[in-house]
Amino acid sequence: MKKVIIIGAGIAGLSAASYALQSGFDVTVYESHRIPGGASTSWRRKGYLFEGGMHWLTGSSPKTVLHKLWREIGALNDSVPIYYRDPFLTLEFKGQTVCLYRDLDRLHKHLLTLAPEDRKEISRLCKDIRNFTKLSMPLTELKGVKAKHKASKSFGSAFAMLPLIPRLAFYGKLSAREYSERFQNPLLRLLVQNITSPDYSALAAIFTMATLTSGDGGYPEGGSLAMADRVAKNVQARGGKILYGTPVEQVLVKDGIAQGVMVRGEFIPSDAVIVTQDTLVAIDTLFDPPIREAWAEKMRKETIPILNTFISVGVEADLSALPETLAFVPEEPLMCGGTSHTLIGINNYAAYPGYAPEGCTALTCILGGDSYDYWKTSKENGSYEAEKQKLAEAFLKILAKKYPQTEGKIAVWDVATPLTYERYLGSYKGSWMTLMKKGVPNKSYPTIPESIKNVYFAGHRISPPGGLPIAAETGRSAVQYLCRDTGEVFQGKE
């Protein structure tokens, strides 16, 4: 049996492990952290569970092609309830409230009521969202691979795609901020900008809305860590080994062929290595000399990482009457990492059983933006802990002003900075996705390097913008390359 080593037990690594085992390989996964999941994680503090990763999962709907993958790797099964929060987002601005409903007809009517002056633009947007729901992420079969169970190939039927091409081009060349300027109503502008983020391509916002309104993009019960645990158990049940707390130091290459890996100074031989640590870091740190192929240089030059600072709070109050995801403009902006945040988003887990002690609520807040250097400097000059405290206090003040019932009721708070993510993930600046900018065609990086045999790359960085579906799909795809190269039959089955 051919031996495969997989570096990383994030979703990409676990997906690769699952498919490699099903395809008859002997699999060992090396993971630096003590738990599976990588960026798909949650943590407990004083009885509160803070969801640190997944907020919605593309492919949660059985109607999607991707759903098959989630079931094949054990991420989803019939006994895992999926929550579809509705409205997906509630945004308040200057005394008005807009809700991002999942029912497109309801959303259309709601937007028209709020902003009749934008009738034409709203109708165009809703029409496009409806058309875009016909597209869903494909599962493809690599040319030349023998596959036991064929997956669907199409990104949407060619017929469905055709009328969308001009609209794909239209949204693709605008940022969400630029697109929002087509709306006169300030509330709608703010909504359109913040479905994803103002600097992302408008295409990302439209795809997100299409996913949500098509009945997809749910939240599996238990969230990120529970899902990662299911996939890890599935790997172990299929006979795979996962070695936690065991970082790989190097992929050993001789005469252009990977021989295995170095772990704590010891050489572990294997027939193939699948690397799922952030590729942008791995090409420099896991290979000696670093990989300098054209695609790797492009990745070094062009990657704009998505990273964040994450605040989580346990409140001794039942906040189930408040929206599940609320964005609002605070009286004073929140300063984080040298950036002023004028819109604050809060995720409220009051409705989710087990996320807080009885009568209490777990809240989280994601502050996007590249604050890496700020936190790094504060670590170096010794002010890191004080900066975290300052941020938490400023956030709690805003929270108390917005929701007076939280004042004096904070049982616990926690701040994760990009340095926290970097420490746990070994990723570039602690990032976990890649920014999809306007006008940049979405192009994936190669799975196999030209200069080294028996090495396969998978993970979010390989196919921007990344995210859980990409992580899982690239893990699956790496095993298809492996099967093609070794003549094995690729197998994926529930």
Structure tokens at 250: 């190097």
CB of 91 to ligand FAD, least distance (A): 18
Q: What CA–CA distance (Å, rounded) separates 404 from 421? A: 32
Answer yes or no whether residue 276 interacts with ligand FAD by CB under 6 A. Answer: yes
Answer yes or no whether residue 10 interacts with ligand FAD by CB under 6 A. Answer: yes
Answer yes or no whether residue 12 interacts with ligand FAD by CB under 6 A. Answer: yes
Q: Stretches 27-35, 119-127, 165-173, 376-384: which one binds ligand FAD (CB under 6 A)?
A: 27-35
Bridge partners of 275? 7, 457
CB of 274 to ligand FAD, least distance (A): 11
Q: Which of residues 446-485 bind ligand FAD (CB under 6 A)?
A: 459-460, 466-469, 471
CB of 296 to ligand FAD, least distance (A): 17
CB of 32 to ligand FAD, least distance (A): 4
CB of 317 to ligand FAD, least distance (A): 24
Binding mask 315-334 for ligand FAD (x = CB under 6 A): --------------------
Structure tokens at 20: 């490699």
CB of 177 to ligand FAD, least distance (A): 21
CB of 480 to ligand FAD, least distance (A): 17
Binding mask 230-259 for ligand FAD (x = CB under 6 A): -----------------xx-----------
Answer yes or no whether residue 366 interacts with ligand FAD by CB under 6 A. Answer: yes
Answer for which of 17, 27, 42, 53 binds ligand FAD (CB under 6 A) is: 53
- Closest CB to ligand FAD among 187 and 337? 337
Answer yes or no whether residue 410 interacts with ligand FAD by CB under 6 A. Answer: no
- Closest CB to ligand FAD among 54 and 317? 54
The contact set with ligand FAD (CB under 6 A) reads 7-13, 30-33, 38-40, 52-56, 247-248, 276-278, 308, 310, 366, 424-427, 432-433, 459-460, 466-469, 471
